Amino acid sequence: MVNPLSVRHGSLRGTQVTTRYVAGISIPDSAMARAATELMRETQSGLLFDAALRTFVFASLLGKSHELRHDPDLLYIAALFLRIGVTALYRHSQQRFEVDSADAAAEFLCGYGRCPEDIAQVWDAIALHTTPGIPQHKPALPALLSAAVETDLFGVHCKALCPGVLARVLSAFPREPGFKIKLLHTLARGQMHRPQSTLGTINADVLSFHDLHLKVGFCERLLESTWPY
């Protein structure tokens, strides 16, 4: 599938933004990071954009806490592109949204000349972030991104953060009122046209929550199979 973001890389390279520190974490300000910031701000809702920024800061803080070395720019790109696959840009896609997001990030990074190893790290981090039990056994980038998503959504790993950090992160990038339900509906709307892509992932549960009549789980598929053996 052609990445609908790919034709827009060049026009954003000169965007100027002010470097920020949130909870002691520097928000990346390279040309690539600035381009990604503007691109994602234009193509995602505020709810998704702020969640991506919180995820980056949480991942960076967890990386410092556990002394895990990583490339901040790559982690930033992975966080920003995390859920681009559920936006209207991909309303005709039949792939898992995580794969659409990972593919978009990979093509973006390729446009900035990043090496295949860097691109593979980001691809894995995004593609695996909804697959519990796997990312923590991968290199630092996928492990940190997954842990940061858990922190943002469920408060997991907060004990590894210094006192007062959570309040500073939420002050900089607040959660909207009703964030939980809004996020679930955003994820569901981005996948209702491709329910088969959610099989075996937490997204099957998201769709079932959104529509109680929609059954896309492993058990239903197995029991409804006409395979006779």
Residue 195 has a pLDDT of 92
Indicate the length of the chain as a whole number. Answer: 229
Residue 6 has a pLDDT of 53
* pLDDT over 90 percentage in the chain: 73
How do residues 183-224 score in pLDDT, each as one tens digit?
Answer: 999 999 999 999 999 987 889 889 988 886 676 667 776 677
Residue 204 has a pLDDT of 87
Distance CA 158, CA 64 (A): 13
pLDDT tier for residue 110 given thresholds of 50, 70 and 90 = very high
How do residues 120-177 score in pLDDT, each as one tens digit?
Answer: 999 999 999 998 889 999 999 999 999 999 999 999 898 888 889 999 999 999 999 9
How do residues 7-20 score in pLDDT, each as one tens digit?
Answer: 344 333 333 444 58
Structure tokens belonging to residue 91: 């309303």
Q: How is the chain classified by DSSP, letter by letter?
A: ---TTGGGSGGGTT------EETTEEPP-SHHHHHHHHHHHHHS-HHHHHHHHHHHHHHHHHHHHTT----HHHHHHHHHTTTGGGSGGGTT--S-HHHHHHHHHHHHHHHTT--HHHHHHHHHHHHTTTSTTSGGGS-HHHHHHHHHHHHHHH-TTGGGSPTTHHHHHHHHSPPPTTHHHHHHHHHHHTTTT-GGGGTTSHHHHHHHHH-TT---SHHHHHHH-----
Calculate mean pLDDT across residues 84-90: 97
Residue 132 has a pLDDT of 86
Calculate mean pLDDT across residues 31-46: 96
Distance CA 9, CA 116 (A): 18
pLDDT tier for residue 227 given thresholds of 50, 70 and 90 = confident
Structure tokens belonging to residue 20: 């920020």
> Which domains are present in the chain?
6-175 (1.10.3210)
Residue 211 has a pLDDT of 80
